[in-house]
Chains A and B, each alone.
Chain A
Amino acid sequence: MATGIGLRQPHYREVFDRRPGIGFVEVHSENFFLDGGASMRALERARELYPVSLHGVGLSLGSADRLVGRHLDKLERLVDRIQPEFVSEHLSWGRLGAEHFNDLLPMPLTHAALALVADRVDHVQNRLGRRILIENISAYVAYRDGDMTEPAFLAALARRTGCTVLLDINNLYVNAVNFGFDPVAWIEELPPSVVGEMHLAGHAVTDDGLVDTHGSRVSAEVWTLYAEACKRLGPKPTLIEWDTDLPSLDVLLEEAAAARAIAEDATEASSV
């Protein structure tokens, strides 16, 4: 099973020199909405060495008003140039009208929201000529009204559009603590076949709840939940995400190795 790491600028040189044995690397698509230059050259080098996953954070699939065509144009150009293994985005919105908050804000889990997001995912997949993955986000507020659970929403989205789910185990854990639900039951609601990738990351514990920071090692609770997910969903390509207070490359590789070991144990245990 492939485990990968988020590839960030301070690690470019070391990754290219050492070429560690990882299954894939993931970058934020928007960091490469460029015509050329050093960053683009580095991504092209990474693509020569590893499968690349393009993970978008700015498309704002769930905006009530419209999808921004120019953003999709740039993504299409990048996908054509890099020929990535995966292209992913989030079940979220971040822009309304002329203002972009550049954050991942939650969607209400309603039939109307599902119809809107399914149309947008269809549109994006048609433009890119490929299936994309949609990630469950971490959230700090929840809506009063909804027609379904989040896994039911994601499963229906996958059924309607053919997209797959990028299951972020840390986000799921953060939400389970912040809103008080059982994350294992959440996973059990998701058909294993719709999950195409998993994410692991660190979070911060605050007085107001857990905050998704991508700035520390994966917590013990998230590792445990990851093992549960592997048991129920089978092994899936898994990525270690780390964006703030970036550690040494070796720490990322240790986390990736730990993910691989857990996935292998879980798979063996479930096949016995």
Chain B
Amino acid sequence: MSDLLAIQEGLANCLRDAHSIAAMRFLAGDQVLVERRLAIYRANVSANAVKALAAAYPVVQQVVGEAFFAGLARAYRHDAPSSSGDLSEYGDGFARFLAGFAHVRSLPYLSDLARLEWQVHRAYGAADTRPWDPASIGMVAPEQQHTIRFRFAAGTSVVESPFPLVRIWTIHQPGVQDGFAVDWSVSERALVAREELRVTVTAASAGDAAFIVATLEGATLGDAAAAALESDAAFDLSAFLSRAIASNLICGFSLDEDH
């Protein structure tokens, strides 16, 4: 199989580098035409990467414009080529890339926006929730309740940012008509959630965000509530739980067997 490996390594080099001649000895036909034909493949590879990245980051694309986004996508692919035949996995490092990319320094919120969009992208294809009976919480003995571990709907996450991230994301959604004013003095915690099939992005209070983050990391109700109160003395546990259950953010719980 070494011949096949050599051929594929040669062609791979030509796809990465327009100046490479690594595949020439394997390819038939006039060399000038072969070089032009290899350019078709390079254009396809690049276009597929741009398209996949744009599908995951539509708001970043709107903010920077299509042409600049295509340039960003090419630079990103150079830095972090796709490793999967499933292009929905492509782009998980885009936020980190943007944070270090000199040409977008004038848009300091762009990396956080990309972090948010990646979570939205993941939430879109997350598992659907199964029906459950919230009244079953009431069956837990009062002295056991602090050991409850809530389960959030798949796709739930919190993206914290010093920028008004939720506002920025919202005004770039299709059909949004409420003007484009952004109060840049506000910092927001974006809660990404699934309501049925729809992905929602809403601003969460510091307490709610702390509770959700702690729970997602495996904390019990008692520990998550303590974390929420520490970051926000006004955190209202019962109000939060009513909202979270009504919106299907919470979709079940388990009891800590160790307690």
Contact = CB atoms under 8 A, between A and B. Distances in A.
Q: Decide whether A and B are members of one complex.
A: yes
Contacts of B126: 34-37
Interface in A49-83: 57-60, 62-65, 68, 71, 74
B109 interface: no
A141 B27 contact: yes
A116 interface: yes
A71 B86 contact: yes
B86 A144 contact: no
B81 to A, nearest CB: 5
Interface string A201-225: 0000010110100000000000000
Interface string B30-73: 00011011111100110011001000000000000000000000
Interface residues of A, number: 50
B29 A142 contact: yes
Interface of B: 1, 3-5, 7-9, 11-12, 15, 23, 25-29, 33-34, 36-41, 44-45, 48-49, 52, 81-88, 90, 123-128, 154-155, 194, 197-198
30 contacts: A37-B123, A37-B126, A37-B155, A38-B197, A40-B128, A41-B197, A59-B85, A64-B7, A71-B86, A93-B8, A95-B85, A99-B83, A100-B83, A101-B82, A105-B8, A108-B3, A108-B4, A108-B7, A110-B3, A112-B3, A116-B1, A116-B4, A140-B37, A140-B38, A141-B34, A144-B26, A208-B36, A208-B39, A208-B40, A209-B33
The 4 closest A-B CB pairs, nearest first, are A58-B85, A34-B125, A36-B128, A35-B127
Interface of A: 30-31, 33-41, 57-60, 62-65, 68, 71, 74, 93-96, 98-103, 105, 108, 110, 112-113, 116, 140-145, 178-179, 206, 208-209, 211
